[in-house]
Amino acid sequence: MSGPEHLPPTADDAAVPASQARALALAERWSVEDPDPMHREALRAELDAATGSGPEAEAARASLASRFSGPLAFGTAGLRAEEGPGESRMNRLVVRRTAAGLARHLWEGVGEDAAAPLAVVGYDARRGSLGFAQDTAAVLTAAGVQVVLLPDALPTPVLAFAVRHLSADAGVMVTASHNPPADNGYKVYLGGRMTDEAGRGAQIVSPADVAIAELIDHEAWTADIPLAEDGWTVAGDELLEAYREAALAVLDEDRHPDRALRIVYTPLHGVGGAVLPGLLDEAGFGPVHVVPEQAEPDPAFPTVAFPNPEEPGAMDLALALAAEVDADLVIANDPDADRLALAAPFPGQDGTRVWRMLSGDAVGTLLGAHLLPALAVAERSVANSVVSSPQLAALAEAQSVAHHVTLTGFKWISRAPQLGFGYEEALGYCVDPDMVRDKDGITAALVAAELVAGLVARGCTVADALADVDAVTGSMPSGQVSVRVADLSVIPRTMAALRAQGPATLAGEPVTVRRDLAEGGAGLPPTDALLFATASGTRVLVRPSGTEPKLKCYLGARDADPAVAAERLEALRAEVAALVGG
C-alpha cells in the first residue's frame, strides 16, 4: 500500500535515511488502515506535503518521523500521548492493538478452561475517549471477554470502584487526567482472579505491565484484530448509584454533624460535575456554587492554559466566585476527578479574608489528622509517597498509627498494608481504600467538606487546623520546583550530574543524608530519584515525572518556629531552582 511516488525526491534513493524511509512507508499504510477518517485525511495531507521541498515539506517529514518513531510504550501508567495518527500517538489502531494484548493477558491469567474474564471499561470527556472505549469493548468482546461499558463520560474513581464492586478481572479507563488538551491515555486496573487482595482495583504494577506489553502485537493492522459489533453490556443507573451510596458512606454523622458550608466548585471542564455537586447537596453541604464557565465537559478546556488545578491561573475563576459569594471553601477536581484541590480563606493583615490555595501536602495532612482517630480504633494504617511531606508520619506516630512510605503513584500507595488513608502531594487522596483502591477526588472532597464544616461550626479556620497540626509535629512546610523541558535528554543528564556531585549544603546547612533511590532500600524498590537532607529536616528529592516532560524537585523544611521553617523553605527553593535551571 506504499509506493515510491510518495517518497520525497532526492538525488539518490540511498540518501533517504532508513528511519525516514520506515516512517514514510508506515505512514502510507497507516493512512489507509487508521479507523478514524479524520486521522486518515490528516495523514494523507502530511504525506503529500512531505513529497515537496522547502520548510513545509521539512516540517511534514519531521512530523511523520515523530509519529512513526516507534510504538507507543505500554507501562504501569498504561498509555499516554498526544491524540492523532501514528504508532507513537493515541489513536484507535493503537488502542485496538493494546486491547487485544490485554485480552490475551486476561485469558492467560484466568486459564483457558476458566469462566470468561470480566472487564469494565470507562472513559472521560476528552477528544477520542468514547471511540477508544467502544473499540476496547469491541476487541475484548470479540476475544471472549465479558465487558461492562460505563454509560457515559464519568470520573476515573467510578471505574476504579466498579472493578471492585463487580469483582471484575480488569478495568480500563480512557483518560489523560490533567494532561494538556491534545493528549489522551489508557489506564489499566486489575482485579478478581488477576491479582491478590492488595491489588484488587488498583492500577497495574510490574510485572503485569511487562506481561501485557509483551502481548501487544505492534504489527497488527485493522483486519488482523477482530471486532464484535455488539455483545457487551452498558452499565445501568444502578452502578453509578452504588458508587454514590458508597461515597456518602465515607461521611460520619458522629464525627462532624454540622454541614452548613458555602462551597464553590469547579470540575475544570471535566466530568466531576456529573457527580460531586449532587453528592454535596445530598449530604447536606451547601449552598454549592459551580463555576458556570467551567461546569460542562469540554475537551478544549477553553478557560485554562493547562487543565490542572496546580497550574497558575487554573483556579482564577473559582477564586473570584468564592470572593463574590463569600464562600468557606473552594473545591476543584481535575478533568477526570481523581485529584482534588482546595482553597480556603485565611485572615488578612487588614482583617479581610485572603484566599489561598492549599498545597497537596497541606490537604493530605489535614485529611489525615481528621481521619486518624477512627483509623487508630480500627487499627488501619496511613501511607504517603516518598516525595510527600513526612508530616503525616509524625502525626501518625503521635497517635500510634502505623505509617508507610511508598514509591510515587497510587498503584503503590493503595497496596500499603492495612491501609485506611493514603495520599501523595500531587493532589491525590484515598479516604476509603475498601471502596476505591486509587486516588478519588470525589470522596476526598466530601471528607474535606466535612472537615471544614466542622471548623466553621466551631468558629475556627483552616489556618487554625494547620496550626494545630504544627503544634504536634513542628512546622513542616513543603514546596516544589519543576522544570518543563522540550528536549527529554536534559532530564537524564541532570540526574547524572546530581548523582556525580550533589549539593553540599541546603539552605545554609550541611547535607547529612544522600540517598540514591535507584539502589532501593529502606523498604522501597529501586526508582529513579535522589534524596538530599540536613539534620534539621530540610530536604529535597529530585525525580523525573512519570507522565510529563518535567524534572520535579520536592522540597521540605522543619522547625518548631513556623517563621524559621518558612524562611528555610524559601532559601531552599531559590537554591534548587538555580541548581536545576528552574
Joined grid coordinates for residue 295: 461546569
- 197 exposed, middle or buried (CB, 10 Å; 0-12, 13-18, 19+)? exposed
DSSP run (H or E) holding 253: none
Residue 40 in contact with residue 32, Cβ under 8 Å?
Answer: yes
Q: Distance between CA atoms of 35 and 83, rounded to whole angstroms?
A: 14
Q: Are strands 329-333 and 340-347 parallel, antiparallel or unpaired?
A: antiparallel
DSSP run (H or E) holding 381: strand 381-385
Q: What is the largest CA-CA distance in the chain?
A: 81
Q: Distance between CA atoms of 552 and 558, rounded to whole angstroms?
A: 20
Q: Distance between CA atoms of 552 and 515, rounded to whole angstroms?
A: 16
Residue 267 in contact with residue 333, Cβ under 8 Å?
Answer: yes
CB within 8 Å of 104: residues ≥ 6 apart: 143, 215
Nearest Cα residue to 97 out of 140, 56, 61 = 140
CA 100 from centroid of its chain's CA atoms: 24
Helix, coil or strand: residue 57: helix
Q: Are strands 419-424 and 381-385 parallel, antiparallel or unpaired?
A: parallel
Q: Distance between CA atoms of 547 and 557, rounded to whole angstroms?
A: 27
Nearest Cα residue to 418 out of 382, 371, 390, 387 = 382
Residue 532 in contact with residue 495, Cβ under 8 Å?
Answer: no
DSSP 347-378: E-TTSSEEEEEPPHHHHHHHHHHHHHHHHHHH
Nearest Cα residue to 92 out of 41, 44, 132, 37 = 132
Phi, psi of 49 (to 5 degrees): -65, -35
Given 63, 88, 129, 177, the catalytic residue: 177
The CA-based dihedral angle spanning residues 129, 134, 135, 137, taken in that order and rounded to the nearest 10 degrees: 130
DSSP run (H or E) holding 419: strand 419-424
Residue 76 in contact with residue 207, Cβ under 8 Å?
Answer: no
CB within 8 Å of 316: residues ≥ 6 apart: none
Joined grid coordinates for residue 309: 488545578
Residue 446 in contact with residue 263, Cβ under 8 Å?
Answer: no
Residue 166 in contact with residue 118, Cβ under 8 Å?
Answer: yes
DSSP 8-state code for residue 346: E
Assess whether 177 carries a catalytic annotation. Answer: yes
DSSP run (H or E) holding 234: strand 233-234
Q: Are strands 170-174 and 118-123 parallel, antiparallel or unpaired?
A: parallel
Nearest Cα residue to 200 out of 229, 168, 176, 230 = 168
Question: Which positions are annotated as active-site residues?
Answer: 177
